Structures are given as C-alpha cells and as structure tokens.
Amino acid sequence: MFDNLSDKLDKAFHILKGHGKITEVNVADTLKEVRRALLDADVNFKIAKDFTARVKEKAIGQDVLTTLQPGQLLVKLVKDELTELMGGDVAGINLQGTPSVILMSGLQGSGKTTFSGKLANYLQTKKNKKPLLVACDIYRPAAINQLHVVGDQIGVEVYSEPENKNPVEIAQNAIKHAKANGFNIVIVDTAGRLAVDKEMMDEIARVHKAIQPQETLFVVDSMTGQDAVNTAKAFNDILNFDGVILTKLDGDTRGGAALSIKSVVNKPIKFVGTGEKMEAIDVFYPDRMAERILGMGDVVSLVERAQEQFDEEEARKLQKKIAKNEFGFDDFLTQIQQVKKMGNMKDLVGMIPGASKAMKDVEIEDDAFKHIEAIIHSMTPIERKKPALIDVKRKARIAKGSGTKIEQVNQLMKQFDQMSKMMKMMQGPGGKNLMKMMGGMKGMPGGMPGMK
C-alpha cells in the first residue's frame, strides 16, 4: 500500500540523518523532497504545496532545530499533517432510521457492487444488523446478477425487479419490503457509467431525493488518482454525499486519491476496500494510515484483526489438544485459515513497523499458504493426525500429489514439528523452556511461508 510514497518519504527524511548538525537548509531540502514525494503520488499540486508550507510553519513555531531530535520531530509533524490531510478523526456511518438507508454512488467499475456486499457483510457480522441489498442498475442485467451472487455468498437477501425500468420505484419498493420484513439496513446499489454524464447524475439525484438516505456513500477506485478526485467533486456537487469509500487499496496505488479527496470535497473517507473478498473491508483511520505511509506500521489494526478472528471456544479446544499431544495438521490448517481471514500477507506485513521497508525486495505471494495447504490436503486423514506415520515414500507421494517438491514437504514437517514442540512448552509451567526453544529456531528453514 502506497509503497512508492513511503519509499520517497523515507528518502526525504534521510537527508536529515546524514548531517551532524541540522540546519534550516537541510530541513528545507527535506520538505522539498516531501513535496516531490506527494506530487509523485499524484497529490494535487496546491494540496502538496500547502502541506509542506504548514509543516514548515509548525517546524519554525516549534523551533525544530533546537530540539534534541529534530529529525524525529519533523517526522511527527509530517505524520500529524498527513493525518489531517486524510480527515483527522475516524468517521462513522449513520445507522439511525428504521430501516437505515444507505445509497451507493460511483462510476462503473469503481467497486460499488463489491463494496455493497462487503458493507452488508460487515454490518451483519460485526454490528448484528439485518441488511437488505437492492439492485438498482436497470441497464445491465449482469449487474443485478452480480449483486445476487454477492448476496448468496454472504447470506444476505437481494431485492431486485428485473422487469422494472424505474430505479426510483425499485428503491422505494425495496424500502417497503424491508419495513415489512424486519430489515434494519437497506443498501441501494446504483448504476454506474464509465464517466460522469448527465443522465446518470440526474438518475441518482432522483433516487437520492425520493429515498432520502441516512448515508450517501461515494465509491471510488483509488488507482485512479487525480481522476478520482475530479469524479468525487462532480458527485458531491449533485449529491452532497456523506462519505467516501476508497477501493482497491491493495493494488499498486500511489496514494493521491486518499491524500487529496478530503481537501477537495471536505468529506471523510469512511471505509477502504483492500481486496476482492467480502472480508476485505476496513474502517478508515487517518492516523493509522499516516503511520503506515511513514513506515511505522499499524500494530493497532493488526491486533484488532487478530482479535476479530479469535474464537475463545476454539482456542480452548486447541489448548486441550496441545496438552494431550493431539495437535495435528488439520488443526494447523484451521490456524492457517484464521490467519488468512485477517487479510493478505502483504497487507499484514505492511502493518508491522519497519517490515514493509525491510522486506520491500521480498516477493510475497498473495496466497502465501497455498503450497502448505496443498501439501496438507495431499495427506490422508490419519497422517494429518499422526504425522510420524509419514515415511520417505509417502513424502514423495505427497509432494507429487500437491505439486510441490519433497524438500518443501520436509520443510513443512520440520516446521510443524518445531511448532508443536513450542506449543507444548508454552503449556508447561510458565513456558520456562520457551526461550531455549526459540534460540534453537533461529535457523528455521524457509522463514515465513510464501516468501521467495
């Protein structure tokens, strides 16, 4: 996420590190580089210029040069400004109203339909709501089908009227249907076009006026940079929307949209989309994002994601199995699946302070666990329970069955063995042998899964 920007900002701050004494000149040089980094990230020129002007003003105000660690203070000032640029505080969504109606707007392909599904899933699983999805695209039957597919996937009902060509009517009927059937959230997915045009704007304005949504959200593809900002402006002029959704943040985005949109439309970014899966949705926290951009990681989000996946009952069962020496490959597979639910590896690594930078040349596969899963799936149920039964011949067969090499099977078995031992020790009184064990694991082959 924003790798290029992070890299350039890091280089900008390097200017300060090379000098014994920090002077006004190298602070100015640093800020010039910061501005260049923002421009390269496709941030609007005026926004970038004002940004560095504000940091400079604060730096002078706080007498940066006379402090003990001017470099660090300057990084902090940049972090604070980045946070402000992206909206300052976290912005929630308004779920009042029975039902609460959420209208989605945006161009075709921005990720509206996918995000409608993600939001419904999020509200259903995390906020205990009963959402109804509404297909209001009257032009493309495929769009209606897509929403039905999404709805099936997450177990949320989808309201559509394929024969009706009046989106206002469909939306109104859907709200009636929601009221009559106990839905407390209605998410209306509208038709998008390839570019802003009058017909689309008129249509969404009519739907907006008729249903008076509690929340109007504008969905934008973060890969489109400055264009995203211009589109946002056009939609905001018509809808006066409540918040922005930035999608495809998992892609190779430069960051321009995230950093410019608030300044242009003065509306907060409320959520971000970080992948194609229904779970790939995050509440947008400007301060955490600023820290990630500056390579400081985002430990809070990482812990939150781990907590979300943590199931106390499952953990207790697992503990029992470990104590009884019954931890097998099936349990390992379950653990992997839980980690996968936390997000893709690259994203998770980006949340560890310093890790993005340290591992920027390491290629991380999107599905980092696929070889491990394939190997485990090629074992018989008995072998998964009792890995000791796997002899050399079976290892060769498992490698063949999983499309991997025998070394990979060996490596996994060794890692599994070490992990089982470590878990067993952690169960012991105070985990006293743990440190000893960890010392022995330094040379663990292969490192993290999925890295080449």
Query: Do the annotations mark residue 335 as ligand-binding?
Result: no
138 binds ligand GTP per the rule CB under 6 A:
no
Shortest distance in whole angstroms from residue 387 CB to ligand GTP: 36
Q: Which of residues 88-127 bind ligand GTP (CB under 6 A)?
A: 106, 108-114
274 binds ligand GTP per the rule CB under 6 A:
yes
Residue 183 tokens, joined: 């839905």
Whether the ω angle into residue 99 lies within 30 degrees of 0, i.e. cis, is yes
Helices (H), 191-343: 198-211, 225-239, 256-265, 286-293, 299-309, 312-323, 329-341
Query: Do the annotations mark residue 446 as ligand-binding?
Result: no
Residues recorded for the chain:
452
Helices (H), 275-311: 286-293, 299-309
276 binds ligand GTP per the rule CB under 6 A:
yes
410 binds ligand GTP per the rule CB under 6 A:
no
Cα 83 to Cα 361: distance, rounded to the nearest angstrom: 27
319 binds ligand GTP per the rule CB under 6 A:
no
Binding characters for ligand GTP, 216-255, by CB under 6 A (x = yes) = -------------------------------xx-xx----
286 binds ligand GTP per the rule CB under 6 A:
no
Shortest distance in whole angstroms from residue 386 CB to ligand GTP: 40
**How many CA within 13 A on the CB side of residue 83?**
13
Q: Rank residues 87 and 273 by Cβ distance to ligand GTP and give the closer one.
A: 273
Segment interacting with ligand GTP, rule: CB under 6 A, options 45-53, 228-236, 270-278, 331-339 = 270-278
Residue 449 tokens, joined: 């899964």
In whole angstroms, how far apart are CA 111 and each of 115, 118, 189, 235, 289? 6, 10, 10, 16, 21
Query: Do the annotations mark residue 193 as ligand-binding?
Result: yes
Cα 187 to Cα 174: distance, rounded to the nearest angstrom: 10
Q: Rank residues 9 and 138 by Cβ distance to ligand GTP and give the closer one.
A: 138
CB distance 70 to 22 below 8 Å: yes
Q: Which of 280, 322, 351, 368 binds ligand GTP (CB under 6 A)?
A: 280
Binding site for ligand GTP (CB under 6 A): 106, 108-114, 143, 146, 192, 247-248, 250-251, 273-276, 280
Residues annotated in the binding site for GTP, as ranges? 106-113, 189-193, 247-250
